[in-house]
Amino acid sequence: MNHLPDILKESVRFRALSLGFDACAFAEAAFMEPEARHLERWLNEGRHGTMGWMEGHFDLRTDPRLLVPGAKTVISVLLSYNQPDIRAEDGSATDRPRVSQYAQGEDYHRVMWDKLEALMAFIRETVGPVEGRGFTDSAPVMDKAWARRSGLGWQGKNGNLLDRDLGSFFFIGELIVDAAFSPDPPTTDHCGTCTRCIDACPTGAIIADQVVDATRCISYLTIELREAIPAEYHRMMGNWMYGCDICQDVCPWNRKAKAGTEPRLMARPELRAADAAFWAGLDEPTYREVFRGSAMKRTKLGGLKRNAEIVLRNLETP
């Protein structure tokens, strides 16, 4: 394959960073053979629970050339939402419900799409009539796998992508394009023998290295599960109202990870002020007002009230 001059590739990378992305790298668009086998085994074992959408479009999920005809390159980007001060404050707050850090700001899909669209426009202006599409947790794209292939990090034991400077508190996005940029080399694994994420998971959801049983994960239970949360997990949820950051909080690579700078991803004051009384009295008007433009609307009001009932009971009886 004849690649475009690297000066064009570096101009795209520089533009991505100037748009606020924290990292940008390139991989060749191709069938993901080892990842496909891993995904197939995970699905066959039922680890995805009620997330039936993960079974659909398997061929698209494992071959980006079927998503974007003629695709030659997958450009992956990272955008940090890390707020160390907020995480430290939340970590010491045992008397109120907690919300996963990623959901405390504006809906990340909007933020990422705005930047990806601007990056795509720059590529067309710089390279020429390039065809492509942007993705961020919004289509059958294996974002962590593509970011790993492009060298933006390695996959930790908890399944999350890890970077030595950014840790794991970041969003991943892709541009799949029909322009041929030279691929970046992958990086190496730096987890070593550490098992802190596995040891810390209260539900034992990390069943093997890089294998998470979603049906046991607090994030799945509080966000994706539409049914009643099994009673066996109620106490294990502790004060996690929406999502869970435990396996990331204990990761050594997140101790000194640099803070994110995107204002739209910073925690909303109204969520910072949400105490037990707020969640106990949550109603439709408050839900519409507080969660406008928030990723937390995915769970809907009924799901949040379900979670709140469990968490408030946990807080009353430590």
Annotated catalytic residues are 137
Q: At what angle do helices 6-18 and 108-126 cross, to 10 degrees?
A: 150
Can you tell me whether residue 23 is helix, strand or coil? strand
CA distances from 155 to 6, 9, 161, 164 (A): 27, 25, 4, 12
In whole angstroms, what is the distance from residue 166 CA to residue 62 CA? 26
In whole angstroms, what is the distance from residue 318 CA to residue 306 CA? 19
In whole angstroms, what is the distance from residue 98 CA to residue 139 CA? 28
Can you tell me whether residue 156 is helix, strand or coil? coil
According to DSSP, the residues that pair with 27 across neighbouring strands are: 74
Phi, psi dihedral angles at 96 (to 5 degrees): -145, 155
Give me the sign of the Cα torsion angle 156, 159, 161, 166: negative
DSSP 94: -
How crowded is residue 177: how many other Cβ atoms within 10 Å of its Cβ? 27
> Taking a C-beta distance cutoff of 8 angstroms, is the pair 153, 163 a contact?
yes
In whole angstroms, what is the distance from residue 262 CA to residue 177 CA? 25
Strands 240-242 and 98-99, sheet pairing: parallel
DSSP 3: P
